[in-house]
């Protein structure tokens, strides 16, 4: 198994870095790293519309084409191969929801509407499920606390938490069909239910204590349009299956593929951070050390952490840098700061090593308890 220690040869282990991150009050900000990150990447902040559109459209084309293949081809082996390709391609297409939360409205003209039409509505993950939520995760005083919608101290929780975390994602497509095809229309005539739907079932979050507030103004109109479209699609899908117009076999294959994308994303989420903070405010450097980069030379992270997600720690340093510029930003920082820097402590080698580390930490937490 490949080591999960940082890629540097400095002799400081990932365990030491994690300990620093957890004891956040003892981690002063590494201003040299923060200044270097800002100064070396000023020319990388502009999104390239051609890259966004080409990548997303290619992912959608391959994903839906492979989905059709999984349903139509003869032979189990070939169908499974098509399903695997569909999962990877649609997962990549879906991952652009993360970019949408950071893009200025005019940065890539039409991309928000295009992504929602091709990915968000068909997969029942309209962008409002992440817009207005993910930005809270990046607030310095909220990150890693009970107010962070995208954080749980998984490494300090019971060992069964990790498999349960993944199992919940496997059931995600069914939950989304119920949310949009049943709860959403019912909530129009049952006001108390509407409040529950908005607060608890309108965000892609992992913190069960998080409660969402309906936005106002243009953001509210954007939400309602997308929710209406998603609900119409979910009800249509239910009707097509109920009447036999859409064969049950085809529906179940599609459901399994979408479930696969959500499981893959949930596994990626398991290693996006070290998850060792217990509701303490963290410095920028501590937040960086609690996050994970899995940079080259490995190739597999491009499949399980696509659209820049393999540079998640760097993203927390530079949330405004578009995904296609993160590899160059990483190379510049490595050259400038060297192998002895704090920057190297968030760079890891493998998914397997990080998952193993998380599981061991959860067992260690039980022993300490």
pLDDT by residue (tens digit) across 187-202?
999 999 999 999 999 9
> ∠ at Cα 355 (270, 351), nearest 5°?
90
The CA-based dihedral angle spanning residues 218, 220, 224, 225, taken in that order and rounded to the nearest 10 degrees? 10
d(CA 145, CA 279): 4
- Nearest Cα to Cα of residue 145 among 156, 133, 157, 153: 153
pLDDT tens digits for range 210-249:
999 999 999 999 999 999 999 999 999 999 999 999 999 9
Confidence of residue 1 (pLDDT cuts 50, 70, 90): very low
| Structure confidence at residue 279 (pLDDT) | 84
Could you tell me the sign of the dihedral formed by the alpha carbons of 235, 241, 242, 244, in that order?
positive
The answer to whether 66 touches 83, Cβ cutoff 8 Å, is yes
68, part of any domain: yes
How far, in whole angstroms, is CA 73 from its chain's centroid?
31
pLDDT tens digits for range 289-317:
999 999 999 899 999 999 999 999 999 99
Domain count, the chain: 1
22, part of any domain: no
Helix axes 351-368, 248-270, angle to 10 degrees: 70
| Structure confidence at residue 278 (pLDDT) | 87
Number of other CB atoms surrounding residue 140 within 10 Å: 11
**What is the C-alpha radius of gyration for the chain, rounded to an integer number of angstroms?**
21
40, part of any domain: no
Confidence of residue 27 (pLDDT cuts 50, 70, 90): confident
pLDDT of residue 171 exceeding 50 = yes
- Nearest Cα to Cα of residue 357 among 12, 8, 19: 19
| Structure confidence at residue 365 (pLDDT) | 59
18, part of any domain: no
28, part of any domain: no
291, part of any domain: yes
Residue 85: domain span = 53-367
310, part of any domain: yes
pLDDT of residue 2 exceeding 50 = no
The answer to whether 345 touches 17, Cβ cutoff 8 Å, is yes
pLDDT of residue 11 exceeding 90 = no
242, part of any domain: yes
For 9, 133, 307, the CA distances from 111, given in Å and listed in that order, are 41, 19, 15
| Structure confidence at residue 366 (pLDDT) | 54
């Amino acid at each position: 198994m490949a080591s999960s220690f940082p890629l540097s040869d400095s002799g400081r282990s990932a365990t030491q870095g994690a300990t620093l991150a957890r004891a956040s009050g003892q981690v002063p900000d590494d201003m040299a790293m923060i200044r270097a990150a800002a100064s070396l990447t000023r020319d990388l902040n502009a999104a390239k519309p051609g890259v966004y559109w080409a990548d997303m459209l290619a992912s959608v084309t391959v994903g839906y084409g492979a989905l059709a293949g999984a349903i139509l081809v003869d032979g189990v082996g070939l169908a499974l191969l098509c399903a695997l390709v569909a999962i990877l391609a649609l997962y990549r297409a879906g991952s652009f929801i993360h970019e949408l939360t950071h893009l200025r409205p005019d940065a890539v003209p039409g991309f928000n509407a295009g992504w929602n039409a091709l990915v968000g509505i068909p997969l029942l993950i309209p962008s409002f499920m992440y817009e207005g939520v993910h930005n809270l995760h990046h607030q310095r005083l909220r990150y890693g606390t009970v107010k962070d919608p995208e954080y749980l101290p998984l490494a300090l929780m019971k060992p069964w938490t990790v498999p349960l975390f993944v199992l919940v994602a496997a059931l995600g497509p069914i939950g989304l069909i119920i949310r949009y095809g049943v709860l959403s229309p019912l909530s129009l005539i049952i006001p108390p239910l509407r409040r529950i739907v908005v607060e608890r079932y309108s965000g892609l979050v992992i913190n069960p204590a998080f409660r969402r507030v309906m936005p106002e103004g243009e953001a509210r109109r954007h939400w309602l349009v997308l929710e209406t479209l998603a609900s119409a699609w979910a009800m249509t899908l239910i009707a097509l299956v109920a009447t036999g117009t859409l064969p049950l076999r085809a529906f179940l294959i599609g459901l399994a593929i979408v479930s696969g994308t959500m499981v893959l994303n949930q596994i990626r989420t398991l290693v996006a951070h070290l998850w060792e903070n217990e509701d303490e405010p963290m410095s920028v450097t501590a937040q960086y050390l609690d996050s994970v980069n899995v940079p080259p030379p490995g190739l597999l992270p491009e499949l399980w952490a696509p659209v820049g997600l393999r540079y998640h720690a760097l993203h927390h340093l530079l949330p405004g840098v578009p995904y296609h510029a993160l590899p160059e930003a990483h190379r510049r920082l490595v050259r400038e700061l060297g192998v002895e820097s704090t920057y190297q402590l968030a760079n890891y080698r493998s998914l397997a090593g990080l998952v193993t580390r998380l599981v061991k930490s959860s067992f260690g937490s039980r022993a300490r308890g």
